[in-house]
Amino acid sequence: MAGRKGNFLVLILWMLDLAIATQESRTDSIPAGDPRRCYSILNDKNLIRYESLPGNGWDNLMNKDAGIVVNFNFSKCKTTDDGRYIVPDTIYTIPIKSSRVETYAELFDHWTNYTSTTSRSINVGAGLTLTHFGISGKFSSESESIKSHQVDDKSTTTRVQVRYVRYTAKLQPDTPLHPTFKSRLLSIAAHIQLNNTNMATYESELLVRDFGTHVVTSVDAGAALVQVDEIKSTFSRDYSSSKSKISASASASFFSVFKISSSYAHQTTKEMIDQYLGNRSHSRVETYGGPIFQPVNFSLNDWGDKIGDDLVPLDRAGDPLFFLITPYSLPELPNSVVYKLIQSVKTAIEMYYKFNIYRGCTNTDSPNFSFQANVDDGTCKAPSTNFTFGGVYQKCNRNGGLSRNLCSGLDQKNPLTGDYSCPPNYEAVLIQESTRSSSESVHKCHRCWLFAHCCNDHTVYGSATYSAYWCVARGSVPEQSGFLFGGLYTNTVSNPVTRSRQCPLYFYPLNIGNDMKVCVSDDYELGYEFSVPFAGFYSCRSGNPLMIGSKSDSKSNSLKSTHTLDSYLTLSGSGQWPKGCPNGYSQHLATVENSCEINYCVKADAFSPRGLPPVRQPPFMEIPAEGFTDSSSYSISDDGLIWKIMTPEEADTSKSASTSSSDSESSENPGLSKGVVAGISIIATIACIVAASAIIVKYRKYKSLYRPLKMSAPLYREKTTNSPSRVQYGSQNEHQTEILVET
């Protein structure tokens, strides 16, 4: 009996050892740093992975998450202070141990003052020196909804919310970068080192598109209940001196929806609440985190009991994306390259903001109100003046020996003159002057040796220099003598008039710059409906001549002025003219070529009836051809990421090392064509066969003359009488050789 019990205990111990070994093998199969290992190490099945983490990219115009920019690791199996959540090694959390639920009631008279419910901190603290960074968050669905309701319904917005913040998670400084994000940065740095400026700019814009403008460094996690109401502006104006009554009525409405007891509510009269509800044109209830909102049988107590099961970000703080680029995070790069990399990414972020600034009048009561405008430029009260547009043209000159014409698509005549010129009484104003470069490989062969042809690849370079002009009226011109303006577009940016990359009906595109199309029409009867009042171009090279004297004589479109300063500016040339738009006109960014911004001016409310503008996402340029140009003089780092242009001495050294290390590769002559190499191989083979045959024939002839003899007799020496001078050496062994010597 005792033996059976002993065997039973041994079996139990064996099964326990087997279970432990199986569990350890499962744990060992999980990669190091994976959060799944922590469940086994900590032996707690109730642990939950913390989800509301900082460290991801953030698009601060649309308030959307972008790609992950830092690398998370769970090797330390850290948890929050209360032991409920697993957090990465480079994240630390601050538990909010207060159980207080905060209530907010806000009133927004204008949509420009509205703040995001879940991204307020990162929108306000954009961290950019760019003017008008206040457009942060203005392309989010929340902000666009508020703007549309306020303009269409002529309303004012109220927002009441209950917020409960449970944790604040912060990102440790100098957290390692995510491998994908880091490789993109190193690729940009490689182009900077190789002086491929256009390619570095292009990839920087792609980086902003994929990883956003900012990195989230802090997240408040919790849950919130929100109610947003739209009330008539007339009702809001009636109580402009006592806005607290409106807020109290909004709070009372909110509390009734979520069945909160009156002890939470603000004191207000039933009459005021009824007036509030009677003037409400739209209402929206949203829940962030916690249980799903149900209109029936939903209470604040039930919501509070289940908050911990589903925490979401209630506010985010962060820094611009280029703050992550440091010598510590990129030790592979020299400090000078790190600085240039920072500037390249920073410029791409600022360009993203600039392309989405829509200037105009934001006062809904003004006749010049622009529905698309997100930045007020002071044009609400200014009168507008009509200017005559004399068209555009562009000249191009090519250099180099390329087989293709780089000026193709860059030449543009002015349809009003049929030439590269302006009509009478119009003056040509330079918009932009730039150069397009390219190269191609040419395969050339020539006769060498006696029967061979030697071939080499040569790189041929070429360039095209183009100059774009627009025509401004100088003095009085006949009515309907110029063009109607129908907007413009590029290969990457849509036309605000059509909201697509095409011209309106009855308009024709004229090519200027690298890829910009200006839409013009001379059909004043049918095309006028789709036209917008135009007031000139200006760029980094030239100002706008229509700005001269526009304040003192807004009714004249002549460049002549009686004022000394205006006369001086007129005679100083386009480079000294003011950069801006006349009174009543708003500036819009057309494109950026070689870091030069090209802007154009249209009437303040020109784009108003055409709805909200879509966000313009990078890249804002065509992919440069130089990004696909091969070179034989590159030095590549061990990790294959950093490329360097080699000097001729380094190139020769590299070639010598390559020759000595690989005989099979050096046996081929890259300077000979394939046919020549094949011919030489055949001739060499035939020569070898002939030489081998000659050697064999000669050897056989030699063998026949000096063939050895065999003897069966033993070695002996005998002197005979018949042949006294003959000595015979031999052997009795049949395997020995006999040699006869005659004297």
Does 643 lie in the same domain as 587? Answer: no
pLDDT exceeds cutoff 70 at 303: yes
What percent of the chain has a predicted confidence (pLDDT) above 70?
A: 74
pLDDT, position 571: 54
Distance CA 587, CA 379 (A): 11
Residues 264 and 375 in one domain: no
Give this prediction's pTM. 0.76
What pLDDT is stored for residue 733 in this prediction? Answer: 47
User: pLDDT of 600-616, one tens digit each?
Assistant: 999 887 876 667 888 99
Terminal Cα distance for the chain, rounded:
115
Residue 137 lies in a domain: yes
pLDDT at 91: 92
Residues 737 and 641 in one domain: no
Distance in angstroms (rounded) separating the CA atoms of residues 15 and 525: 93
Q: Pick the range with the lowest mean pLDDT from 206-220, 580-594, 674-688.
A: 674-688
Q: Which tens digits make up the pLDDT trace of 538-567?
A: 999 899 999 886 544 444 444 444 456 555
SS3 40: helix
DSSP string for 622-679: PPPGGGG---S-EEE-TTS--EEEPPHHHHHHHHHHHHHH-HHHHTS-TTB-HHHHHH
Whether residues 270 and 408 fall in one domain: no
Q: How far apart are CA 548 and CA 577, in angstroms?
A: 7
pLDDT of residue 605: 79
**Cβ 352 vs Cβ 208: under 8 Å:** yes
* Residue 73 is assigned to a structural domain of this protein: no
Domain boundary among 323, 346, 378: 323
Residue 468 is assigned to a structural domain of this protein: yes
Confidence of residue 630 (pLDDT cuts 50, 70, 90): low
Q: How far apart are CA 342 and CA 491, in angstroms?
A: 27
Same-domain pairing of 638 and 606: no
Residue 284 and residue 152 share a domain: yes
Lowest mean pLDDT among 96-105, 325-334, 623-632: 623-632
d(CA 254, CA 268) in angstroms, rounded, equals: 13
Q: What is the pLDDT of residue 121?
A: 93
One domain, residues 234 and 382: no
* Integer Cα distance of 211 and 536 in angstroms: 36
Contact 310, 290 (CB under 8 A): yes
Q: Is-cis flag, bond preceding 619, omega within 30?
A: yes
Please report whether residue 81 resides in a domain. no
Question: Which residues is 464 bridged to in the sheet?
Answer: 398, 436
Which carries the bigger pLDDT value, residue 712 or residue 590?
590
* Tens digit of each residue's pLDDT (9 = 90 or more) over 693-742: 777 767 666 666 555 544 444 444 444 444 444 444 444 444 444 444 44
Same domain, 587 and 448: yes
Contacts of 720 (CB under 8 A, 6+ apart): 726
Note down the domain range covering 646: 634-666
Residues 300 and 163 placed together within one structural domain of the fold:
yes
Rounded CA separation 626/409 (Å)? 19
Is residue 633 within 8 Å of 651, Cβ to Cβ? yes
Q: Does 13 fall in a domain? A: no
Per the structure, how many domains does the chain have?
4
**Using one digit for the tens of pLDDT, what is the confidence trace for 481-531?**
889 999 999 998 899 999 899 999 999 999 999 899 999 999 998 999 899
Measure the CA–CA gap between 545 and 555, rounded to whole angstroms: 15
461 and 407 in one domain?
yes
| Over residues 341-364, mean pLDDT | 93
Lowest mean pLDDT segment, chosen from 210-219, 262-271, 407-416, 722-731: 722-731
- When the pLDDT of each residue in the chain is averaged and rounded to a whole number, the result is 80
Locate tokens 């209470």: which residue? 299
Q: Is residue 624 assigned to a domain? A: no
Average pLDDT over residues 204-220: 97
Residue 46 inside a domain? The answer is: no
Question: Domain check: are 652 and 717 in the same one?
Answer: no
Does residue 651 share a domain with residue 539? no
Residue 162 lies in a domain: yes
What is the rounded CA–CA span in Å between residue 98 and residue 116? 24
| CA–CA gap between residue 572 and residue 184 (Å, rounded) | 46
